[in-house]
Amino acid sequence: MATAAANNQKKISYRAKEVTKCPVCATTHFKEELLSGSGRLIAGKLTQELQRLYEDNKKWGKINPLVYHVQVCPKCLFAAFPKDFTTLTSEEILALKNTVAHRQKVVETFFGKYDMGENRSIVHGAIAYMLNVDCYHLRGPASAPTPKKAVSAIRAAWLLDDLFKEANYRPYDKLRDFYYVEAARYYKRVLDTMTSGIEPMEESAYILGPSLDFNWAFDGVIYLNSYLTRKFIDQMATNPKDKYAIMDSSRRYLSKLYGSGKSSKSRPSVIIDMAKELYDEMGKMMERFRIEYDPAFAEQKAKEAAEAAAIVAAAQKA
Ligand SMILES: [Zn+2]
């Protein structure tokens, strides 16, 4: 009895009253939802990746609301944001039916046998976002899969980082970095698709986040594309000319964000400040890449450096 009472006090989630029937395999489940209130979530700082951290909570333990966000069928491992869970076309159902074994293998390879019907832990959360990336890959443009893959990839990376900190004997860091690079690539594609109109952007506006406490919307997409490109440029391209080109394209979008200069309620000054800093850092990195592949530019830069050194030496003599 005492244990039951203690468990009850520790209750952080509940099951939805309405059953969900999987459109792919017809298995039913009750979605787990996070209980809010009673000081379960204490917001901490915002990271450079626009990730909202949560303070450790004496009464409730460690809770990360991201863990509960994606809906997953425990049988066939079809995953989607709740709004997209029951809106599959017949082609999408077929593609998802044909890839059940692949999804099971992804989970088993990294985590062993895992029951996605259990109450969720960080591991379930990481798996849910990894599956989400795979499943949106099979969806048509109507559900705006590209931004959903971008957001899912960065959240997978965050949760895998949490796991790595808890159990660093497993190669979660490698898997984490894989999803960071995926996120960098998808965020770039979001910028391209947003301007082309291939995917209806209003379909994804509500999930851009990338955290749950504030939606940085398109500003966040521009900023994160540059942030992740700068951080993972060595994994995104091998030669300095390609690195320069990728960074140049991201930085042009970034200049529009910080060039606007004005902060507002939907655009807090913190993102403009971070964008400015990033813009300058990327400029310096691009100069180094160009020195590597452009001999004339390297020569000019060497000449400038020699002239500057001569001026300093002359000033010191005087
Ligand atoms: Zn299913």
Q: What is the pLDDT of residues 166-194, one digit of tens each?
A: 887 788 999 999 999 999 999 999 998 87
Which whole number is the average pLDDT over 68-77? 97
Residue 108 and residue 186 in one domain: yes
Residue 57 and residue 201 in one domain: yes
pLDDT bin (cut points 50, 70, 90) of residue 9 is: low
Cα–ligand 1 centroid distance for 154 (angstroms): 25
The residue among 214, 247, 276 that closes a domain is 214
pLDDT reading at 8 higher than 70? no
Cα–ligand 1 centroid distance for 57 (angstroms): 34
Q: Which amino acid is at 137?
A: H
φ and ψ of 13, to 5 deg: -145, 170
Which whole number is the average pLDDT over 211-238? 94
DSSP one-letter code for 211? S
pLDDT reading at 5 higher than 60? no
pLDDT at 4: 46
Residue 289 and residue 142 in one domain: no
φ and ψ of 45, to 5 deg: -85, 165
Examine residue 199 and state whether it is found in any structural domain, yes or no. Answer: yes
Examine residue 229 and state whether it is found in any structural domain, yes or no. Answer: no
Which whole number is the average pLDDT over 157-168? 92
Residue 208 and residue 304 in one domain: no
pLDDT at 6: 45
Structure tokens at 293: 């592949």
Cα–ligand 1 centroid distance for 96 (angstroms): 9
pLDDT reading at 309 higher than 60? yes
Instruction: State percent of the chain over pLDDT 90.
Output: 76
Residue 170 and residue 270 in one domain: no
Q: Are 117 and 29 in contact (CB under 8 A)?
A: yes
Which whole number is the average pLDDT over 243-248? 96
Cα–ligand 1 centroid distance for 83 (angstroms): 16
Instruction: State percent of the chain over pLDDT 70.
Output: 96
φ and ψ of 266, to 5 deg: -85, -10
Residue 141 and residue 261 in one domain: no
Give the chain's mean pLDDT: 91
The residue among 179, 214, 249 that closes a domain is 214
Count helices and strands in the chain by DSSP H and E runs: 10, 8
pLDDT at 59: 81
At residue 29, the 3 state secondary structure works out as: strand
Domain around 67: 11-214
Cα–ligand 1 centroid distance for 136 (angstroms): 15
Cα–ligand 1 centroid distance for 177 (angstroms): 29
pLDDT reading at 316 higher than 80? yes
Which whole number is the average pLDDT over 44-73? 90
Q: Are 246 and 236 in contact (CB under 8 A)?
A: yes
Rg of the chain taking only CA atoms, in angstroms: 23
Examine residue 108 and state whether it is found in any structural domain, yes or no. Answer: yes
Cα–ligand 1 centroid distance for 127 (angstroms): 15
- When comparing pLDDT for 7 and 215, which is higher? 215
pLDDT reading at 269 higher than 90? no
Residue 102 and residue 157 in one domain: yes
Cα–ligand 1 centroid distance for 149 (angstroms): 20
pLDDT reading at 2 higher than 60? no
Which whole number is the average pLDDT over 215-224? 93
pLDDT reading at 270 higher than 60? yes
Matching residue, tokens 């082609």: 91
pLDDT reading at 1 higher than 50? no
Q: What is the pLDDT of residues 121-153, one digit of tens each?
A: 999 999 999 999 999 999 999 999 999 999 999
Q: What is the pLDDT of residues 82-96, one digit of tens each?
A: 999 999 999 999 999
